[in-house]
Structure 1
């Protein structure tokens, strides 16, 4: 779909600063436009035309999807720190990662990534693997989830026993964890694993 010249310029700016997004004021200044509302209009047009997908949890961050290119961009979040609302998704992405759209079999706007740490989910998931995650708080039993429990972010299998939520590690050296219902939160369901540690000890 054809883009207005200002939309082309805006898209290039957004892509250039995707790791550290500019404010509306800064975008207007870079484009030599006096009104923030004009910038907002062009952003909405980029969304409508399929070039831009804004993060539903934190609209300041976005994904660029060129309909003519076979690549999508997902935000990567650190697992060690939660944002202001107690979720990793309202914090600042550590990087923006281009991935093959074939690896994202759900709405792109719900996608994010995390880098695995530790050995609790071996042999399926190893430290430094990249996980493609679908944002959701309604997992099914035995789904692998990215979750927060007692302010600790982790990757576990979601299981239940009566009224309790049990977080299971694939590595049986780790004992199951009974989730604290007052603090437990599912961030999303792991849908794909990108292996990055092959050959490491």
Structure 2
């Protein structure tokens, strides 16, 4: 799985209506009666530019974590990666998205797809963590 860097985010987003009710995956209910407030996507995703950036996912190695080919990831480079985080990393200059794990004294970058083996970070490898994935956004448009 690879990533495409899309760039930094900036503040000052558009305000969108926010409805306080949860949407059932069945028969819809009238939403206008439940309008609670207006929020921005900056607020919803707790974005803190310039520490936040976007990447687009290419590949299927993280599908069991709910990250699919074409998804947009919101990444916070100000957070320090801890065991279990999904990270954007460069392993020997190869950018990738993986689960960051510490196993004994080893660092392991794990895929979330059984088709792919874990990547054990060896002494000769150069590892750089570019940020922790905070959110993923998926387009459901089939066109």
Tell me which interval the TM-score lies in, with the shorter structure as reference length: 0.5 to 0.7
Among 172, 179, 187, the residue aligned to 2:121: 179
Give the structure, 1 or 2, with the largest relative contact order (CA under 8 Å, sep 6 or more).
Answer: 2
Structure 1 alignment gaps of length 5 or more: 1-60, 72-98
Among 91, 94, 109, the residue aligned to 1:152: 94
Q: TM-score, normalised by structure 2?
A: 0.67
How many residues align? The count is 112
Q: TM-score, normalised by structure 1?
A: 0.49
CA separation in 2, counterparts of 1:129 and 1:62?
17
CA separation in 2, counterparts of 1:107 and 1:65?
8
1:125 match: secondary structure: coil
Structure 2 alignment gaps of length 5 or more: 1-6, 17-39
CA separation in 2, counterparts of 1:147 and 1:187?
5
- 8 Å Cα contact 2:54/2:74 also seen in 1: yes
Q: 1:62 to 1:106 in 2, by over 3 A?
A: closer
- 8 Å Cα contact 2:9/2:53 also seen in 1: no
| Greater share of residues in strand | 2
* Corresponding residue for residue 101 of structure 1: 42
The alpha-carbon deviation at position 187 of structure 1 amounts to 0.2
Q: Alpha carbon RMSD of aligned pairs, Å? A: 2.7
* Corresponding residue for residue 70 of structure 1: 15
Alignment of 1:111-126 (within 5 A): 111-123=52-64, 124-126=66-68
Superposed CA offset, 1:124-167 (max 9, x none): 10111000000146211100000000111000000011221101
* Corresponding residue for residue 12 of structure 1: none
